Structures are given as structure tokens and as C-alpha cells.
Amino acid sequence: MTTEATLTSTSASPTARQVWTRARGIALALVVLVAGAVAIAVLRSDARHGELDPRSADPNGSRAVAELLADRGVDTRVVTTLDEAATAAGPDTTLLVAAPDLLTRSQQTRLHKAFADSRGRTVLVASGSASIERLAPGVTADPATSLDSILSPDCTLPAARRAGTADTGGVRYTTTHLGADACYPSERLATLLRIPDGTGDGDTVALGAPDILLNDHLDEQGNASLALQLLGSRPHLVWYLPTLSDTSATGPDDERSFFDLLPSGWLWGTLQLFIAAALAALWRARRLGPLVPEKLPVAIRASETAEGRARLYRKTDARDRAADALRSTTRTRLAPLVGVPVTQAHTPEALLPALSAHLHGDGQDQHALLFGSPPSDDAALIALADRLDALEREVRRP
């Protein structure tokens, strides 16, 4: 097979069928991934419906505790906006905030002003560092959560002592309030914190985990007793379920980026994945010594090798590399024919004078042919290959 025929036969672009053959595995994997995600979303669409919702009978709902409170004469009202929660605060009302971290900075400040002087009780469920310092000034959430779920009261708060052990393990708190009740400690940090207000009639309770309020855990440990005592101290219970759609009392300082909305665990997990990927790359890239040549299991014809290499050059438009390969091979073959050592075959000062003397020419054409610039297009590359073949034939001619 001639060089012209080889380059011409590889100039065609991949067909649509070839592209589909190469990409169908990736496309199938993407389809399976999307189908799996949709199936999981459909199957779990009801699994977390109504979490901490007193109207929900799901395992993660809180209808059971609402029913028990109703039997004790406590009426429960669900609100979903900040305006309703702020106006409901009062001395005869317990305000439960189900997800304080969903509130913006302005909403947290406004809510704290609403219940600070209400002389009622405010229960903050799993309030993290994003909200606890505004909703309960003087209280700080520890970055590390409790390792244990079931904890003992270990405090003098009557409600905690009567309830006994409970599933309060979660966010851990520290406070500068001297009169605060720090209960259910985990590694000396409280997971239930009660801070009395200045009047002594109202208070704020920071609850590290929502487990004692969930239908699925209410009958375990002393969860029911603790939940009823915390939420049943006043005749009215306002259950505030914050939503992202509530835009009341928002300001320019409340705008948060995508990374602000991600929990810290996701960021640390992503960092660990990057480190694992880097270690895997280093492991796979390591070399335990020099490369060892191995014999091929089958014989490959030179024409197939040339065609495969031509396809690679054609795919990447590497005309410069193809021209260098053709010229280098020609120079290597010509050097012994004109009496030049192979080690000096690629030196113009050594090869061209001997070649000119053999051909009785001026050497200018040979310099451009053997050491010139790369061709500008495929046609020029084919012409270069033909001229190199002609030069070699002329040198070999007796």
C-alpha cells in the first residue's frame, strides 16, 4: 500500500454509526442512572412527607404527640409564615420552630424580637450554628454533633428528671447564661438547653434533635414524657414549619450562594472524594521499574501498522508529526547509502553534502525536502511523501 493510498483511505470522518457505537455505552449508563434516580424519587416521595408536621401520621411526622397534647387540653395550630409565627407569640403560648436553619438572618432577628418579651416558651428544634446565635443570644452550637442518640438527663430540670433517658442526641450547645439548665450532656456539652428570660416567666428551649417528637420514636425511652412536658406547659401550641417560599422580612443580606446552602458535611465529603481520586490516580500511575518490551502474540503486517498510525495522525490533524516521521525514516535509510553514519543522519551539515555529491546537485532542494517546514494541508503532505520516495529511488539507482 502506498503512502498516498494510506492517507487517502483514512481521510474520511467517523460515520454516524461509528459515533453511535462508541457512545452507546455511555448513553445507556446515563439512561439507567436517570431512570434509577426517578424510581428512587417516586418510591421515596412519601417517605419524608410531613417531617415534623403535627398533621402527618408518617414515621417522621408528629401527629402522635399532637394527639396526646390534645387529650391534655393543649390545642395545636400549624403556621408556615413568619408573620403568623411572630403574631402568635404570647404568655399562654408555646412556639415551636421546626427548622430554624431555614430562616434567613432577617427572619431570625425578627422572630427573636417577637418572642423575647412574650413571656411564653419557645422551642428550637435542632437549631445549628446558622440560627442559634440569633434566636438565642449567648448560646453557641458545637460543630461536632453527639455520637450517642440516647442520653441521660444529668441535670436538675424537673421535666428532664421525670422523663429520664431520651433520644436527644444531636446538636450540642454551650451557653454563657448562668441560670440555664444544661441537660442530656454528650461529652460535657448539653443537647437540651433551657434559657429563662429576664422576667422568669418565659424561656427558650434548644433541643438538639427532633427524635422525641417523631411518631416513630415517641414510644421509646422517655421521649413521650419529655415531649409532652416541653410542649404542654401552656394551653396553646403554635407549630411553626418554615418554608423556603416565605419571603417575609427578607433583606439584601439574606442572599446566600449555592455553597452557603450546602451542609458542611457535603463540602467535607466532596473534599474527601477529591483526595481519594487523587490517591487512586497516583496508585494507578505508579511504575515499579523500566518498561519491558514484550513480543506480540500475533504478527501484524506493516501495512496495518502504517494505516493505524495514519488514522491517528489524520484524526488529530497532526501533519507536522506525520511529515517528521516520513522525513526521519527517509534520512535514516539514505545515510548508509551515501556513506554517512546513522548517528549523523539527522544533521544537515553531515547528510546534505554527501547526498549532493552522490546526486551531483547543489543540495538546496534536498534541504527543503529533508529538513523543511511541515506541510500546510493533506495534499502537500502526500506530495512530500511522493518526493521522498522519488529521492530514495534516485539514490538507490546504480
CATH number, position 226 = 3.40.50
Note whether 313 and 178 are same-domain residues.
no
Q: E strands within 86-234?
A: 93-97, 121-125, 139-141, 150-151, 166-167, 173-175, 181-186, 189-196, 203-207
Helix orientation angle between 378-396 and 348-359, rounded to the nearest 10 degrees: 60
The yes-or-no verdict on residue 247 having pLDDT over 90 is no
Note whether 103 and 177 are same-domain residues.
yes
Least confident window among 207-211, 229-233, 360-364, 392-396: 360-364
3-state secondary structure of 186: strand
Note whether 96 and 167 are same-domain residues.
yes
Q: Which residue, of 244, 278, 311, is where some domain finishes?
A: 244
Note whether 195 and 309 are same-domain residues.
no
| Over residues 103-127, mean pLDDT | 91
| DSSP structure class, residue 11 | -
Place of cell 551531483: 360
Q: Which residue, of 244, 262, 284, is where some domain finishes?
A: 244
Q: What is the mean pLDDT of the chain?
A: 85
| Over residues 216-237, mean pLDDT | 94
Note whether 351 and 230 are same-domain residues.
no
Does 258 reside within a domain?
Answer: no
Does 74 reside within a domain?
Answer: yes
Does 253 reside within a domain?
Answer: no
pTM assigned to the model:
0.56
Burial status of residue 244 (CB atoms within 10 A of its CB: 0-12, 13-18, 19 or more): exposed
The residues, any chain, with a CB within 8 Å of residue 142's CB and separated by 6 or more, are 171, 172, 173, 174, 189
Note whether 214 and 311 are same-domain residues.
no
Note whether 135 and 232 are same-domain residues.
yes
* Interatomic CA distance for residues 389 and 386, integer angstroms: 5
pLDDT at 338: 87
Q: Which residue, of 199, 216, 244, is where some domain finishes?
A: 244
Phi, psi of 300 (to 5 degrees): -115, 130
Q: How many CB atoms lie within 10 A of CB 126?
A: 23
Does 30 reside within a domain?
Answer: no
The yes-or-no verdict on residue 251 having pLDDT over 60 is no
Does 278 reside within a domain?
Answer: no
The count of structural domains within the chain is: 2
Note whether 177 and 57 are same-domain residues.
yes
The residues, any chain, with a CB within 8 Å of residue 223's CB and separated by 6 or more, are 163, 166, 167, 211, 212, 217
Question: Please, which contacts does 70-73 make with residues 24 or more away whose CB atoms are closer than 8 Å?
Answer: 72/228, 72/232, 73/235
Q: Range of 363's domain?
A: 303-396
| Over residues 147-165, mean pLDDT | 94
Does 287 reside within a domain?
Answer: no
* Interatomic CA distance for residues 280 and 318, integer angstroms: 32
Note whether 239 and 356 are same-domain residues.
no
Does 156 reside within a domain?
Answer: yes
Least confident window among 67-71, 207-211, 230-234, 372-376: 372-376
pLDDT at 51: 86
Least confident window among 5-14, 84-93, 141-150, 330-339: 5-14
Q: Which of 37, 43, 90 is nearest to 234 (CA)?
A: 90
Note whether 235 and 380 are same-domain residues.
no
Q: What percent of the chain has pLDDT over 70?
A: 87
pLDDT at 259: 62
Does 38 reside within a domain?
Answer: no
Note whether 239 and 307 are same-domain residues.
no
pLDDT at 61: 92
Note whether 212 and 128 are same-domain residues.
yes
